[in-house]
Amino acid sequence: MKLNLLVYGPHPDDAEIGAGGLLLKMKDLGYATGIVDMTRGDMGWGTPEERDRECAEAAAILKLDVRVNLDMGDNRIEDTFENRCKVAGVIRKYRPEIVMAPYYDLPIGRGLGHNDHFKTGILVAQAFNLAHLAKAPVDGEPYQAKAIFYYFIPPGVRPTFSVDVTPYYERWMEALACHKTQFRNPEKPRPKTPVLDVTEYIGVISQTHGWQVGARHAQSFLATSPLKIRDPMELVREVHPRP
């Protein structure tokens, strides 16, 4: 099956966090979409089987055409030639026009800089190129996707473009909420003083990105190569001066 958009996520839930609103919008526009989970999140609080079920529930809400898991091992993703071939094989199989992955230049450590996050970005970027090489030992016919864009942009890095996902915000949060075992530690009691949970925090971020482009909620992405524009006026069709 040919896809228009294929999003790689290091763990179950990462693709939803980084591009869930976009995936819903792309489906609504008539495009074929998919997610590739690089691991089953087996180092997290839930079991791999629980996380598999959560992925299936979220995929149904997002109306994905494809969701697959490469099971490379939570906290164990490495940019090896063997792994590049596996990732490139998925690109060849589904032949997406746009590929997305976490941005690779992230601060090392917890959160954005998790080993699997930035290494997935590196690995997918390498596979994006490898997939089109005829002599590469990769299953399937050579294929070059049109573009690779990145999510999980670190603070201080300006996005290349933002997408208004306001009409899809509620369903996006529903998809995120499916990942119960990721967002709730059963061994840690809830704090007495209310704090933002993960979905609320992501909502704040989406509002921040939305405010910058005159929308209630938006998701932002980074291109590391120039984008060719046919008509520059398309860039300002939906730009409205601020009061």
Residue 191 is predicted with a pLDDT of: 61
CATH number of the domain enclosing 216: 3.40.50.10320
Structural domains of the chain, count: 1
Residue 120 lies in a domain: yes
CA distances from 93 to 54, 59, 85, 136 (A): 25, 19, 12, 14
pLDDT per residue as tens digits for the range 202-220: 999 999 999 999 999 999 9
Task: Rounding to the nearest 10 degrees, give the CA dihedral for residues 77, 82, 84, 88.
Answer: -130
Range of the domain at 164: 5-236
pLDDT per residue as tens digits for the range 16-54: 999 999 999 999 999 999 999 999 988 888 888 999 999
pTM, to two decimals: 0.93
Residue 199 is predicted with a pLDDT of: 85
Residue 189 is predicted with a pLDDT of: 63
Residue 242 lies in a domain: no
Residue 142 is predicted with a pLDDT of: 98
Q: Is the dihedral of CA 159, 121, 170, 235 positive or negative?
A: positive
**Spans of the chain below 70 pLDDT:** 111-112, 184-196, 240-243
Q: Is the dihedral of CA 155, 160, 164, 170 positive or negative?
A: negative
Neighbour tally for 157: CB within 10 Å: 13
Residue 243 lies in a domain: no
Residue 238 is predicted with a pLDDT of: 79
